[in-house]
Amino acid sequence: MKIVIPDGDTLALPDMKAHILEIFSKYGEVICNGATSPDEVAGKIGDADAVLCNKTPITREVIHQCKNLKYIGLFATGYNNIDIPAASERKITVCNAGEYSTHAVVQHTFALLFSLAGNLNAYHKAVSQGEWERSQVFSYFPYPVHELYQKTIGIIGYGSIGRNVAKVADALGMRVIINTRTKPESCPFALVSQEEIFRQSDVVTIHCPLTEQTANLIRKETLNLMKPSAYLINTARGGIVCEQDLADALNQEKIAGAGLDVLVQEPMSPETPLKSAKNCLITPHIAWSAVETRERLLQIVSDNLEAYLAGSPKNQVN
Catalytic residue among 108, 207, 237, 296: 237
CB atoms within 10 A of CB 77: 22
Please name the residues in contact with 136: beta carbons below 8 A apart, sequence gap of 6 or more: none
DSSP code of 268?
P
Catalytic residue among 108, 163, 207, 285: 285
Is residue 285 part of the annotated active site? The answer reads yes
Catalytic residue among 29, 89, 131, 266: 266
Please name the residues in contact with 145: beta carbons below 8 A apart, sequence gap of 6 or more: 117, 118, 119
CA-nearest of 107, 126, 156 to 261 is 107
Please name the residues in contact with 318: beta carbons below 8 A apart, sequence gap of 6 or more: 84, 87, 88, 92, 93, 94
CA-nearest of 64, 69, 94 to 79 is 94
Three-state DSSP state, 158: coil
Angle (CA) 118-119-120 rounded to 5° is 85
User: How far is residue 187's CA from residue 209's CA, in Å, rounded to a whole number?
Assistant: 20
Is residue 266 part of the annotated active site? The answer reads yes
User: How far is residue 76's CA from residue 207's CA, in Å, rounded to a whole number?
Assistant: 15
User: In sequence order, what are the beta bridge partners of 204?
Assistant: 154, 232
User: How far is residue 20's CA from residue 294's CA, in Å, rounded to a whole number?
Assistant: 10
Is residue 133 part of the annotated active site? The answer reads no
Q: From start to end of the chain, where are the E strands?
A: 2-5, 29-32, 50-53, 71-74, 93-95, 152-156, 175-179, 190-191, 203-206, 231-234, 257-260, 280-282
User: How far is residue 215's CA from residue 205's CA, in Å, rounded to a whole number?
Assistant: 15
Three-state DSSP state, 189: coil
Active site residues: 237, 266, 285
